Amino acid sequence: MDTDTAMDKPPHPPSTSTAKATSSSTTISPPIPHTFDLGNLLLLDLNPLPPSPTQDALATTARTCAQSLINQLLLTCPIHSTPPPSSSIYLTLPPPTTPLPREKPLPPPKEATKWEKFAKKKGIKDKKRGEGKMVYSEEKGEWVPKWGYKGRNKEGEGEWIVEVDEKREGEGKGGETVRGQGRRERVERMRRGERKQRNNEKRARKGGSGAG
């Protein structure tokens, strides 16, 4: 027998992912079982394709994978129906298991405002964020708001009896009660705080324009 004689090679077998699935079959049995991530509607097919697949082979493989994914969804996911008149059918997908990359880049860091820059430079802390809106009242034995309805800043204004300070009793304006005096002092403190805040903002704006 002549060893130099070339032997005819058998034709390349069909794609293993479609070897046992016809174009109209709904039963898919690939040599290497498919793996799924139903939460992302993802199917992973490890069955190799022929070296130079034709368009028909690629279309058949795509159809096989789609049919396998649909079969897995119908077998494992709960099926629900909506009430009439729509009477639609839908599936509940499980949580995804494959981490996907972020679609868009991370947003750039937010630029600090002039007040934030001024507060950082002067070492001013944000009391609202650091301390919170509630404070413990030892008299009531519970947490109460610092400001607003039933706030700590209004303690004593709603009491039916108030202790009178003889030294401060004559400081009130004509006809002003002790409760009214406390309310007026609270309003004045609020206004002083607002004036200080406006002055700080003006100084910050001047400092920013001078630096530019």
**pLDDT, tens digit (0-9, with 9 covering 90-100), for 63-121:** 999 999 999 999 999 999 988 888 899 999 999 999 988 888 888 988 888 888 888 88
Give the separation between CA 199 and CA 167, rounded to whole angstroms.
34
Strands 42-44 and 134-137: unpaired
pLDDT for the residue 140: 72
pLDDT for the residue 126: 65
pLDDT for the residue 153: 63
pLDDT for the residue 159: 60
Please tell me whether the overall predicted TM-score, pTM, comes out greater than 0.85 for this model: no
pLDDT for the residue 103: 85
Residue stretches of the chain with pLDDT short of 70: 1-24, 126-132, 147-148, 150, 152-182, 207-212
Which are the contacts of 74, defined by CB distance < 8 A and separation ≥ 6? 91
The answer to whether 142 touches 136, Cβ cutoff 8 Å, is yes
Give the start-to-end residue ranges of the domains of the chain: 16-91, 114-211
pLDDT for the residue 193: 85
In this structure, what are the phi and psi dihedrals at residue 199, rounded to the nearest 5 degrees?
-65, -40
pLDDT for the residue 115: 84
pLDDT for the residue 48: 92
